[in-house]
Chain A
């Protein structure tokens, strides 16, 4: 029982990271129709930015996190403007190639700047608490709480502010939004900045527990892609639910069944679900 609770806790913590990362990705994929395969690598860059601000410059964890989010937001704006916007009128596969180019670029950028050796961000909250017989470190709890706060905040932003409403408008009808005077390019840049910013939040929350390496985003990015498709492109609840689901599947599957094949479960589940429901769990009928 204790083991089960421990695995549940692990699964939820992991699911929180997946949920935030997938949330950012579903925004650009669903709303802007950009298959941003480099999303995991932006997450990686977010972690390194935190290292730079909090570790190298010594500004402390929370200030480092804010600056990292801001830096990644800027990277998002630049990426949208110089990489994806010129490809707007081309087939999606071309944007996908550009994404592969971006991820190669980002990974070797980190390699050149910070080297191949793993880097550590000092854990700001190394304490641990015992509850119901399971051990939880404070930083891990922070990941879970941070994810909930971020999701709630984003929801309020989308529903209660004008900026959020314009994003929704563009998502529903790009031409229509343009006709009502919305600057679609500005909305695209904003959406992209939010997407990369959330990736930086995820990286900042979780990297004190782990270690930074240039290739840390590759598998995560792919999983986020899977979650987004599983939940249905552009579906925010789909991404959140899919994220938590994947975290739990992995923790329980990896703990109880087979650690070597734990990734297979998630990917096989996706094939199965899409074979039955070709547009994902929460997807709109046709893309």
Chain B
């Protein structure tokens, strides 16, 4: 009798355990890592990146996480501050990998991405490096476990030059930020603009991170009578450059490097007033992205964080969703190589689900159109999306069908991808 009781007890226990496994009530939490500047210069930018990730994690958990082989996984985001210091970034990545178990780590600055790419392929502590950096230099480091999130800045160089040329602008004065990114931008722009037949009348960089007065450089640049100015760095100081240039009597156009966002400048620096920003060419305002998901995202984002929505947030959001899908596809949340390998299978993304859908992946580069816009007569106008990766007409047509529709799609062949 006693034996029977014991037997039935263990039987029930066994069935229960089995049921537990089968119904997917078995839940685990997966950590997504982020290290970036959360204090000091660049912290606004770092937070935009992290906010996008936080939204993605929140949304996937609300949708119940992902299920692989009957196991349900939810996610949490761990963020650490590295102040763009390589030592701190490597420490953070080690911590994320060893302590928090993160197999996917995001970082938004090339200076810290490069050292992380030295350690992400070490046996026993591999992780997938999700690099938010638009420099083609990432390709110089031969690294399998890396995916770059934004379009290369060279795509914007071509796209903006395209638009500026159409407008009949020829003489360009440059006042771009100093720093790794600005230096590359200046170099690539100068090369490209001159190869089109345009003229660079002056090149006076300024440090947008440490300075707030650009009158010395502006006076020098404006004295050369340019048709338009190539300016930009972080958005807020870029707004100051526009204001100071207009105050000095400049009436021409502006091209903003891709770090500066025109809608952010208009809303934050000029309180929504577009009167000083006529003829500004740059990345489109976020609401001009022609996807159904963008309006809802924009609203929820600004409610949740109380700051202006940016492309950094949207691209990180979309990129992390690729990771979720790829984990599901690969059937693992722990093997970075398998997750990376599964990415082509889950692309293109649907414009219903993410604000900036990715259309494919080429080696380390996640492919997303470069969306541009112009401010004209006090309104946002002329938004285009440029496909920068197709090598021929057929490929362009193929990707054009995948891309969200609603604005003009243009083909922009980037021979060799790098800066000529």
Contacts and interface: CB of A to CB of B under 8 A. Distances in A.
A209 interface: yes
B171 to A, nearest CB: 17
Nearest to B235: A118
A247 to B, nearest CB: 10
A118 B42 CA distance: 11
A210 B269 CA distance: 10
Contacts of B236: 117-118, 211, 213
A137 B205 contact: no
A10 B178 CA distance: 20
B39 A117 contact: no
Interface stretch (B3-11, B217-225, B336-344): B217-225
Nearest to B44: A116
Contacts of A254: 204, 206, 216-217, 220
A93 interface: no
Interface stretch (B134-142, B207-215, B290-298, B354-362): B207-215
Nearest to B217: A259
A176 interface: no
A219 B220 contact: no
B178 A260 contact: yes
A219 B210 contact: yes
Nearest to A3: B223
B369 interface: no
Contacts of A251: 215-216
Nearest to A215: B41
Nearest to A128: B247
Interface residues of B, number: 32
Interface string A88-125: 00000000000000000001100100011110100000
A281 B204 CA distance: 32
A34 to B, nearest CB: 25
B248 interface: yes
Interface in A2-30: 2-3, 6-7, 10-11, 13-14
B39 A111 contact: yes
Interface string B110-150: 00000000000000000000000000000000000000000
B213 A3 contact: no
Contacts of B269: 118, 120, 211
B220 A7 contact: yes
B44 A117 contact: yes
Kindly state the interface size class of chain A when it binds its partner: 35 or more
Interface in A190-236: 209-211, 213-216, 218-219
Contact of A255 (B178, B217, B247): B217
A62 interface: no
A115 B236 CA distance: 14
Contacts of A214: 40
B284 to A, nearest CB: 21
Nearest to A126: B247
A250 B210 contact: no
B268 interface: yes
A259 B206 contact: yes
A3 B39 contact: no
B210 A3 contact: no
Nearest to B47: A116
Contacts of A107: 39-40
Contacts of B168: none
A117 B268 contact: yes
Contact of B212 (A7, A211, A259): A211
Contacts of B240: 210-211
Contacts of A115: 44, 307
Interface string B6-45: 0000000000000000000000000000000001110110
B197 interface: no
25 contacts: A3-B220, A6-B223, A7-B220, A10-B215, A10-B219, A11-B216, A107-B39, A107-B40, A115-B44, A116-B43, A117-B268, A118-B44, A118-B237, A118-B268, A128-B247, A135-B247, A137-B247, A210-B213, A211-B269, A213-B236, A254-B204, A255-B216, A255-B220, A259-B204, A259-B217
Interface of A: 2-3, 6-7, 10-11, 13-14, 107-108, 111, 115-118, 120, 128, 135, 137, 209-211, 213-216, 218-219, 250-251, 254-256, 259-260
Q: Which 4 A-B pairs have the closest CB atoms?
A: A118-B236, A210-B212, A116-B43, A255-B220
